[in-house]
Amino acid sequence: MAYAVPSNRLRPYVLPFVGVVHAGATVNAVAQEYAPVGDEWMMLDPLGKILLLSVSGLFLCCSFYAPGYLRFRNERSNRNFVACLLILVAMMSLVAYAQHLGVLWVAVEATTLAAAPLIHFRYTPKAIEATWKYLIVCSVGIALALLGLYFLAYSTLTAGDAPKLVLSDLVRSAHNFSAPWLRAAFLTLLVGYGTKMGLAPMHTWKPDAYGEAPGLVGAMLAGGLTSCAFVAILRVSMILVAAGQAAMVSRAWIILGVSSMALAAAFLARQRDFKRMLAYSSVEQMGILAIGAGLGGLGLFGALLHMLNNALAKGVMFLSSGNIHRAYDSKSSADVRGAMSRVPLSGGLFLVGFFAVAGSPPFGPFVSVITILQAAMTQYRYGIAAAYLLLLFLVFAGMGKTVVAVVMGGADDSPSKRDYRDNAGTVVPIVVLLTFVLVLGVHLPETLRTILYQAVDYVQVMP
């Protein structure tokens, strides 16, 4: 469809059309009872429903933002940009449906390839460097995930009639698999998909990719692509839990989660580039997801809710930061001052988005962050709870220092920096995203709550 529209000016409007269609199809699919398609290779289970809602809601708002953004980037063709963005969303949707681990791997790898042209859209030397770094690091991760699939397939040989790599078959027969090979498979898949998720220390592609990608691309990477990798690991962990290896899975999740939050807190303390700041914030958010998944039960409920909250809240910050970057032609807090004076709407949304992402009330992330803390306390894991709270505070302080520097103070009114001002096309989609985040913090819809509980029960299968 993107290649069929010849006009550079009209082509971006394909995105909101597809966004509306995708959102409508998502609502219809989520409302249906899940049933296997094609010999159980494809099925929208409760876990996939949450991922699909996250991706669809984020893409809907980004698609309406895109025409306003691309209007300021008319010096080159946007044909590949629009096409790759559509492919990226399609592959993320496939991750939500994939029940065959081979199909899941292909879908996750396809998101890597589709995102690469989006990162280097600006064609600057730094953008090209960031793209290559992203491709190399993520490709190594995906290669490790493929090796993990081989280990998993080998572990099934002890089950007699070896099952296919369909999730339901693997869960049913997991107790018969070779335990050493199964553990090796999980650890390799965890590192492989964890690289794509951006867990420390496999996060090294994030600062450059998020720093150089357009704001709407950063939003899709931070809110969609990383969530796909998280769901992929959860699907694999189901097999380990069914095989009686739940303790090992929990330890691995929590170690990576705390490590990710600690690394993010350390780097955010002295981060002056506000787009790279968002990259380290994303590392921290992935750590929160990992800790919730490791705690299980109520913690997993909080992690799945946080996956949705983080996707929407990160969209607010990336889109508003893109507007600020365009107004100042700089990402450094040393150059960007007084954003609320020059671009008051974008500056205000960036500030409010920071409070949302940092887990402040009354926004959705506050609910999910507190839910995970509650899970740690009810399990008497006070050490984890204390570390979690401390790291949340350090991240808040580190991000707050940069955000306040960007939005407050007197604006530099040099004529060279007056080519962009807030407009409806690049502000209204951010307001809609922020409204979603606020609604999820004030009242969690009963339908969504039910899907979340179903997803927790679905993931925590018992041997």
Q: What pLDDT digit, counting tens, does each position of 157-208 carry?
A: 876 666 688 998 899 888 889 999 999 999 999 999 999 999 999 999 999 9
- pTM for this predicted structure: 0.95
CA distance 333 to 347: 13
pLDDT at residue 124, as a whole number: 87
Q: Is the distance from CB of 461 to CB of 171 less than 8 angstroms?
A: yes
Q: Tokens 């009330």 label which residue?
A: 361
CA distance 171 to 237: 10
pLDDT at residue 414, as a whole number: 53
pLDDT at residue 338, as a whole number: 87
Positions of the chain with pLDDT under 70: 1-3, 34-39, 75, 159-163, 409-419, 461-463
pLDDT at residue 416, as a whole number: 47
DSSP E strand boundaries for 210-318: none
Residue among 355, 323, 349 at smallest CA distance from 336: 323
CA distance 59 to 315: 9
CA distance 422 to 319: 12
Q: Is the distance from CB of 282 to CB of 314 less than 8 angstroms?
A: yes
166: which strand partners? 100
Hey, what amino acid is at 405?
Answer: A
Q: If residue 39 lies in a helix (H) or strand (E), which one and from where to where? A: none
Hey, what amino acid is at 169?
Answer: D
Q: Is 7 left (phi over 0), alpha (psi -120 to 50) or beta?
A: beta
pLDDT at residue 413, as a whole number: 55
Phi and psi torsions of 332, nearest 5°: -90, 135
CA distance 57 to 96: 14
